[in-house]
Structure 1
Amino acid sequence: MADSADVAAAVSSQPPGGAEEEQGVGSGGGLTDAQREVLERCLHALKHAQTDSHTLAALLLITRLCPASQLDKPTLRRIFEAMGLNLPARLLVTAVRGTETSGLPQHELLSLGTALLAALSTDPDMASYPQLLTTIPLLLGIVANASKDTSPRASLDEAMAADCYQVLTAVCALPRGPEQLLSRGAVPALCQAVKQNQTLSRERGLALLGCLLSGKTKDKAWSKHPEELRALLVGLSKDFCQSKDQARLDMCSQLVQFLPPVGVSVGVSVESDELKGVVSSMWGVLRPMMQAKLTPRQIGPILVLSACLLDIYGWELAGPPKFCCLLVNRACVEVRMGLEEPPGTELRPELQHTLTGCYRIMEAAIEQACSAALSQTAAPPQSHTSSLSLQQSRQVLRVLEEAFSAVIYHLQQVDPSQYGDPFIFATFRSLCSWLAEETSCLKEEVTGLLSFLIGYTRSHMRGESPELGLSDWMDEMSISEERGAWTGKKPLRYLLPALCHLSAEEGPRKVLLTLDTPALLVDFLSQSWTSLKEKSGVVSGRDPSMETACSALLNFTVTEPERVRKDPCFRTLEAFLSEALPVLVHKPRLLVLAANFCTLGLMMGRLKSAPSESVEAGQRRFFSSALRFLRGALDSGSSPPSIKVSVGWEESWDEAAELWRLGLQALGGCVRAQPWIAALVREEGWLKHMLAMLGQCSALPDQQTQAALEEALCAVAERCPLCKREIGDMMARSDKGALGCMRNLKKLVGVK
């Protein structure tokens, strides 16, 4: 084996001009002139080394005379280019295999290989080299101490551990770094290192795992390695429960990273019970912490961890109702203190993070309090549950109202230049969750904020705000019901339930009309329909947001007929529905959306006058599809003869029944306004089908269904003599059927 003395002699024998020939790329950073001269000679020796022994000796000499901390990046790059980028990997492979061809002990090979890689990884460009990425499994094996060799030389010293973590951390910082580490087994290796309490595993390994379990790789990591991550979480929760005072406060922020993502399966019942136990034990520690006197900086991590635990199991494990009220109250106080600042005040990032956690507690409290208020006669809450009494729910709603008053105040100060700020989105989203349940409180303030709410959602719909920060925030905070990529439609999705309520009230509706809200909803429907079709090439998955948008548009259609007649966006909507409804008629899983589209189109159709020229193809296509759709809801039973909900509609009847009845009434209005539709009713076979069914069967599902059918049949009889005759003939033949119970229709067609 050659040593550093061999190479020192070789270096000293080089011609004096050698240093000048090799110089020029890097100056050596903080080196003295003597060190730079030795460095240049070593670089020359590296380039002309005949064996690995000469290369290693030159590197050892460099590391002794020129510490890496004194070398700048250009100089480091020259060193690695001189030695060859494959050398560190060869050193690690040689050490792991235990071959003695190098002449160096295994530990020295590992130490030198990891040191070289650590230096190499300080340059982000070099950290992404394939030669470095191939060493990741070897480095992970070192930090996890996966070797079965239990001799002293197999132990991990701190310097080597630091070098390994330096490389792994540098790779993790690359754009695709977390995915590179995940695919190369980082999660199980790091979990093993923490479990065995290996050198620096608590200081550096947990931090690295935290990065892998935050953002885009969180779901994938839990899906691939649920057992290892559950075991890690169990261990960390035990440490949390056994820690004291400040250490426990510090662990609150750390634990947030290691909780499983919401909505991702983490195992079967046994593992789920284990996870429940972990969450329950954490709540047991958090409750006395929440009741203690805490500074704003101390309570922040506690509130954020509480919010994350609520995301997983809701209020089920949080504790008794009294504690739940306390938790909500503390969160609301923090929101009021944080947001009720003079205009122009910038909130520090730490406070924004705390307030975001508070918002999630408030969102969870809204549903809990509203459900308790609505179910006053429900069974008394069992012990150890978080079910609120009516008095407690009213108390929670009061403190929530005060907190959302502060939220509204803060949003009133927002400038359009801030629309891409993730914290503004978090604040907006929280307010929307409250407005979805409660629009009667703070009505004037909410109406005054509508200009911001619509402007904010429209800006994102049009892509006028930078989305990258919001996308990253959604990933980090696990905020996404769809668990999909961020789109500009998301803000409007959260606002839609509130718009459904507000469009039904005259004051807010007038403001919404001045903001051109119907056009925004039509754009949303069109974009959502396009993305729905593109997901799998065919329409398949249900999108409740589209149904809610239809409900809001339906409110405008019912209450603002003149706006519907004059606003161009409603003509755009008609054209859209004429294209979409024929597709939906054949999609059973989207029946409720089809019912919305059908009813909305018919409600608009009744406001139109008869066309002066020929009927447009789009209009004919829509009404033909609507008639086929409405006809499919009911079916005749054989024994006893009765009319029942058809098999295809049974599952969705609770949601679709009212829309179906409203659609039939609107069909009657369409026939009266546009008599040509009456002829279509005969051509499409709707009238024949309904008369046959009503004539054979003695009973309809309910009185409302009978009234809706009678309304449509009366309109058809009024506008079409042929239809009137067919109805009269059927009523005369089957006086005892369901048709015979329709008195207004009997009178109209002249049947006694």
Structure 2
Amino acid sequence: MALDIGASPDGSETSKNPMLERCLNVLRDARNDSEQFAALLLVTKAAKAGDIDSKTRRRIFDAVGFTFPNRLLASKDPPEGCPGHMFQALGVTLIACFCTDPDLAQHPQVLNKIPAFNDVISACDSGDASCGSMIDEAYQCLGAILATPKGPRELVNRGALVTLCQVYVRHSYGYDQALHLLVGLLTAAETKCWQRAPSDLMGVLGTLSTEFQKAEDMTKFQLCEALRHFVPPLLPLGSGCLQSLYQGLSSILSSKLSASQRDPALKLAACLTQACGSEWIPTGRSGSKFFALLANLACVEVRLSLEELDLAEVDKKQELVAACYILMEHAILECTREEGSLLREVQKVQLVGILEEAFAAVVYYLRQAGREKLGDPFIFASVRILGAWLAEETSSLKQEICDLLPFLLHYAKLQFEAGKKGGSSLQSAGCRSGQEPIWHGDALRFLLPGLSHLTTEDRPRAILISEGAPALLCQYFSHQWEEFVSDLEAPSASDAVESTLQTACAIFLNFVVAVPELISREDCFIALMDTLLKSLPSWRPQGEHLGLAAGVTTLGLMMARKLSAHPGLQQTPEAKGFFSVTIAFLAEAHVAQPDPVGDSVVLQLAPAYEATWPTISELWLLGMQAFASCVPLFPWLPEVVLHSVWLQDLLGLLRCVAPTSVDSESVTAFQGVLVELARTSRPCREVIQQHQGAELANLYGMAALEQCLSQH
């Protein structure tokens, strides 16, 4: 400790504080522990942590170092007549002084004392005034560590998170400081906190919820502000805190409040809704009334905020508006839910009108600010919630949406391209930090359901085509398809990616049906066809992926009709593999089964198709029509059919089942394929004749097939 800490020549605090300078001189000249201890007492008395500048704090640290404070913290034997924690208290005071320097606060020698600080705040008797002071300084040290870049991780790893939770649940001395630190920890490292100490955090949530329900003064609003940080990403519906949270929020939102009182309640409600849907709200009249009020308040807040002409004011309200977006999204879900909705029909009608006004404000805001704030997460959140609305409602705000489409496509394209280049992930603005990061390209994912509806209408479809939507969607599909195929070997492929691909297929089919010439005109569809030709042969769709299989195979067949001259479809191995996959999908949909109520054999859906048939039956019929149209365009295709034995199996199926069990649409679909095979291929016609094709045509009323066979 023989360091030169003489008077500072640069006018620092020691030059202005002669007493402190003398103390440092004494500390410099100390010859043993007793003299050093006495000098340290003088230093701590002369220099409160907040009363000196950083240079002086550094001089004190240079004079003291960590060795002696470490010994003080570890000492258990104070001098006779002194408090039992005197040495420890002095050590904590010194470290607290050091921690006011951010560089020292993240020093390994400070970080390794986190367990000691934990012991201080959880074990000391706060009835002793000096012990209370030591606890306060321990909290000061933990707070300083939390403010450093690596501090939150260190506090979690070294037990501070658990200790702070226990302190708050027990309401030990300084529990209000513990709560403040817990909020900071959850803000900085929510995922890590919930991974490390879920039961302890749930204990705090339970305590806070009870206090929140019972509070009748301003404390209620302070608790409301803190509570949203303690709602886990997934909150079990059986949690006892839900009833308390509902009752506490109900009492707040049903009262006349200022904005500063109402806003935390909306944010907390949004966090609860994000964590467990609307299940935290009880069913019945009271819950219905509460949810309608909650949704109304959210819509009104969005209108008031986004119709502001001053964009700077909007920026200040982003967190609140993003929370309202969450409530609006669940309001849409409740309005569209046919069974089990919280809302009565009259409430749904009223709420849809209010939602429409709120989304008019969202559209207005995006038109005003969208192109100026392309990198702002709040724009992403606004586009996302608009996508949720468009997925369910495209009949309202038609003109406004059409006017906004060029921006939406421009935004989606920029985000997708940034995502492909490995740009930083973009987190959706929300009611709290720690939400799942969303990469840039996913902006388009939230728009796809709405685009699926819009591409069925002439005007928005024309706008989308003119703005380059087909090329963007083809690129996006290929990117998502690669991700889906690469995940097939994993325990479970991403449901979100699969759903996205299905929706994209629906959009492409809308283009194919409404504007068929577009397929041969736009090069992007040739690239998309190549993607399917290369990847489909290696993908053998199973039952869990039949929805996607229906979309992809039907789309491929529809495009193949318009791209028959494409080199990739000229009897290449990829083309044969592609048609083999489509044949498998079409052929395996039906089986012959004994009639459960009679002696006959009837045509039934294959078990693997039953669950998804309501959503894929139309695609199967369209696929059958498209396949029949492809037969005369590809002279080699009948050979693939014969090799697959689909033709033989289909004729055998029709021969063994009761004709009355085959519906008229299926009869038409089967006949279309049989007629084209018979017209195009002599070997196929011979197989049909060998399997009593003429008799089957007569039996099923397939006049076109009967006529075709009679002509040869």
TM over 0.5: yes
After TM superposition, the structure 1 = structure 2 runs for residues 174-573 of structure 1, keeping only pairs within 5 Å, are 174-202=148-176, 204-214=177-187, 217-261=189-233, 264=234, 266=236, 272-275=237-240, 278-311=241-274, 312-314=276-278, 316-317=281-282, 319-342=286-309, 344-347=310-313, 350-371=316-337, 375=338, 387-463=342-418, 470-471=426-427, 473=429, 476=432, 484-533=436-485, 538=490, 540-542=493-495, 543=497, 544-573=499-528
Q: Is the 8 A contact 2:698 2:706 kept in 1?
A: no
Q: Secondary structure of the residue that 2:604 maps to in structure 1?
A: strand
Amino acid paired to 1:210: V
Q: Tell me, in whole angstroms, the C-alpha distance in 2 between the residues paired with 1:425 and 1:738.
A: 60
Q: Is the 8 A contact 1:541 1:589 kept in 2?
A: no
Amino acid paired to 1:230: M
Q: Is the 8 A contact 1:188 1:228 kept in 2?
A: yes
Q: 1:254 to 1:30 in 2, by over 3 A?
A: farther
Q: 2:686 aligns with which of 705, 708, 725?
A: 725
Q: 1:590 to 1:76 in 2, by over 3 A?
A: farther
Unpaired segments ≥5 residues, structure 2: none
**Which stretch of structure 1 is more off in the superposition, 465-474 or 709-718?**
465-474
Q: 1:118 to 1:36 in 2, by over 3 A?
A: closer
Amino acid paired to 1:346: A
Q: Tell me, in whole angstroms, the C-alpha distance in 1 between the residues paired with 2:669 and 2:130.
A: 80
Q: Which residue of the partner structure matches residue 624 of structure 2?
A: 664
Q: Is the 8 A contact 1:405 1:442 kept in 2?
A: yes
Q: 1:19 to 1:307 in 2, by over 3 A?
A: closer
Q: Secondary structure of the residue that 1:175 maps to in structure 2?
A: coil
Scaled by the length of structure 2, the TM-score of the pair is 0.88
Q: Tell me, in whole angstroms, the C-alpha distance in 1 between the residues paired with 2:359 and 2:44.
A: 61
Q: 1:74 to 1:526 in 2, by over 3 A?
A: farther
Q: Which residue of the partner structure matches residue 712 of structure 1?
A: 673
Q: 2:57 aligns with which of 42, 55, 76?
A: 76
Q: Tell me, in whole angstroms, the C-alpha distance in 2 between the residues paired with 1:282 and 1:357.
A: 17
Q: Is the 8 A contact 1:136 1:184 kept in 2?
A: yes
Q: 1:189 to 1:624 in 2, by over 3 A?
A: same
Q: How far 1:246 sits from its partner (Å)? A: 2.9
Q: Tell me, in whole angstroms, the C-alpha distance in 1 between the residues paired with 2:454 and 2:588.
A: 33
Q: 1:637 to 1:425 in 2, by over 3 A?
A: same
Q: 1:172 to 1:341 in 2, by over 3 A?
A: same
Q: How far 1:99 sits from its partner (Å)? A: 5.4
Q: Tell me, in whole angstroms, the C-alpha distance in 1 between the residues paired with 2:363 and 2:414.
A: 19
Q: Is the 8 A contact 1:182 1:221 kept in 2?
A: yes
Q: How far 1:50 sits from its partner (Å)? A: 7.1
Q: How far 1:448 sits from its partner (Å)? A: 0.6
The answer to whether 1:59 aligns with 2:46 is no
Amino acid paired to 2:122: A
Q: 2:87 aligns with which of 109, 115, 119?
A: 109
Q: Is the 8 A contact 2:78 2:87 kept in 1?
A: no
The answer to whether 1:584 aligns with 2:539 is yes
1:523-579 per-position Cα deviation (integer Å, ceiling 9, x unaligned): 222222333455586473333122112211221122121111111111111111123
Q: Secondary structure of the residue that 2:172 maps to in structure 1?
A: coil
After TM superposition, the structure 1 = structure 2 runs for residues 565-644 of structure 1, keeping only pairs within 5 Å, are 565-610=520-565, 614-637=570-593, 641-644=601-604
Amino acid paired to 2:207: G
**Which stretch of structure 1 is more off in the superposition, 394-403 or 228-237?**
228-237
Amino acid paired to 1:664: M
Q: How far 1:363 sits from its partner (Å)? A: 1.5
The answer to whether 1:653 aligns with 2:620 is no
The answer to whether 1:41 aligns with 2:25 is yes
Q: 1:530 to 1:434 in 2, by over 3 A?
A: same
Q: Tell me, in whole angstroms, the C-alpha distance in 2 between the residues paired with 1:37 and 1:174.
A: 30
Q: Tell me, in whole angstroms, the C-alpha distance in 2 between the residues paired with 1:418 and 1:714.
A: 58
Amino acid paired to 2:185: L
Q: Which residue of the partner structure matches residue 116 of structure 2?
A: 138
Q: Is the 8 A contact 1:158 1:199 kept in 2?
A: yes
Q: Is the 8 A contact 1:634 1:644 kept in 2?
A: yes
**Which stretch of structure 1 is more off in the superposition, 159-168 or 562-571?**
159-168
Q: Tell me, in whole angstroms, the C-alpha distance in 1 between the residues paired with 2:15 and 2:698.
A: 101
Q: Tell me, in whole angstroms, the C-alpha distance in 2 between the residues paired with 1:405 and 1:566.
A: 36
Aligned length: 698
**Which stretch of structure 1 is more off in the superposition, 504-513 or 345-354?**
345-354
Q: Tell me, in whole angstroms, the C-alpha distance in 2 between the residues paired with 1:274 and 1:298.
A: 26
**Which stretch of structure 1 is more off in the superposition, 218-227 or 330-339?**
218-227
After TM superposition, the structure 1 = structure 2 runs for residues 665-704 of structure 1, keeping only pairs within 5 Å, are 665-698=625-658, 702-704=663-665
Q: Is the 8 A contact 2:387 2:446 kept in 1?
A: yes
Q: 1:164 aligns with which of 138, 155, 160?
A: 138
Q: Secondary structure of the residue that 2:591 maps to in structure 1?
A: strand
Q: 1:307 to 1:66 in 2, by over 3 A?
A: closer
Q: What percent identity do the matched residue pairs reach?
A: 33
Q: Is the 8 A contact 1:665 1:712 kept in 2?
A: yes
Q: How far 1:504 sits from its partner (Å)? A: 1.1
Q: Secondary structure of the residue that 2:592 maps to in structure 1?
A: strand
Q: Tell me, in whole angstroms, the C-alpha distance in 2 between the residues paired with 1:536 and 1:60.
A: 68
Q: How far 1:450 sits from its partner (Å)? A: 0.6
Q: Tell me, in whole angstroms, the C-alpha distance in 1 between the residues paired with 2:252 and 2:101.
A: 44
Unpaired segments ≥5 residues, structure 1: 1-6, 267-271
Q: Tell me, in whole angstroms, the C-alpha distance in 2 between the residues paired with 1:527 and 1:103.
A: 75
Q: Tell me, in whole angstroms, the C-alpha distance in 1 between the residues paired with 2:369 and 2:216.
A: 41
Amino acid paired to 1:689: D
Q: How far 1:522 sits from its partner (Å)? A: 1.8
Q: How far 1:41 sits from its partner (Å)? A: 3.2
Q: Tell me, in whole angstroms, the C-alpha distance in 2 between the residues paired with 1:33 and 1:233.
A: 48
Q: 1:138 to 1:468 in 2, by over 3 A?
A: farther
Amino acid paired to 1:179: R
Q: Secondary structure of the residue that 1:460 maps to in structure 2?
A: helix
Q: How far 1:690 sits from its partner (Å)? A: 2.6
Amino acid paired to 2:94: L
Q: Is the 8 A contact 2:526 2:563 kept in 1?
A: no
Q: 1:741 to 1:229 in 2, by over 3 A?
A: farther
Amino acid paired to 1:722: P
1:367-422 per-position Cα deviation (integer Å, ceiling 9, x unaligned): 21233xxx5xx7xx9xxxx7333222111111111111111111111243412222
Q: How far 1:619 sits from its partner (Å)? A: 2.8
Q: 1:201 to 1:317 in 2, by over 3 A?
A: same
Q: How far 1:290 sits from its partner (Å)? A: 2.4
Amino acid paired to 2:186: L
Q: How far 1:242 sits from its partner (Å)? A: 2.2
Q: Is the 8 A contact 1:696 1:737 kept in 2?
A: no
**Which stretch of structure 1 is more off in the superposition, 324-333 or 701-710?**
701-710
